[in-house]
Amino acid sequence: MSEGIRVAAVDEIDEGEAVVVDAETAGTDDDISVFHSEGRFYALNDTCTHEEASLAEGWIEDGEVECPVHSARFCLRDGKALCLPATVNARTHRVAVVDGEVFLYPGEPPAE
Ligand code: FES
């Protein structure tokens, strides 16, 4: 298990908001968005799987994010593409809250 990247304090990411960890920091080929929804935190690759759009700028509600460009929706828990025009699932990453801080583990599968 890799060392996590500190993203923010829990109270720095409001419900229904997301912050972006850039690809260079994450060591991944895409930026990663860390979402706060329904009191939990989730991480997905930031770029929509349909075209070029930042999912962090989408509408976040009920454990889903809606792309701001063509309104595809993705499940924050497993990255599943829930409706057209997206047909490819979003990549997920593990997030953990430790002592009131949100940590991201790029490339690791989310905890159940
Ligand atoms: S870019 Fe996201 S649905 Fe088209």
**End-to-end Cα separation, the chain, in angstroms:** 16
| Residue 1's pLDDT band (cuts 50, 70, 90) | low
d(CA 46, CA 74): 11
Q: Is the Cα torsion angle 91, 72, 54, 5 positive or negative in sign?
A: negative
Q: What is the pTM of this model?
A: 0.95
- For the chain, the residue count is 112
pLDDT confidence bin for 111, thresholds 50/70/90:
confident
Ligand 1 mutation target, pool 55, 57, 64, 69, most atoms within 8 A of CB: 69
Give yes or no for a contact between 24 and 32, defined as CB atoms under 8 angstroms apart.
Answer: no
What number does CATH give the domain 5-105? 2.102.10.10
**What is the reported pLDDT for 90?**
98
Q: For the segment 86-109, what is each residue's pLDDT rounded down to a tens digit?
A: 999 999 999 999 999 999 999 999
- Alpha-carbon 46 to chain mean position: 7
- The stretch 18-38 carries a mean pLDDT of 97
Phi, then psi, of 21 in degrees rounded to 5: -100, 120
Q: Is the C-beta atom of 81 inside 6 A of ligand 1?
A: no
Q: Which residue ranges make up each domain of the chain?
A: 5-105
Question: What number is the average pLDDT over the span 46-67?
Answer: 98
The verdict on the CB of residue 69 being under 6 Å from ligand 1 is yes
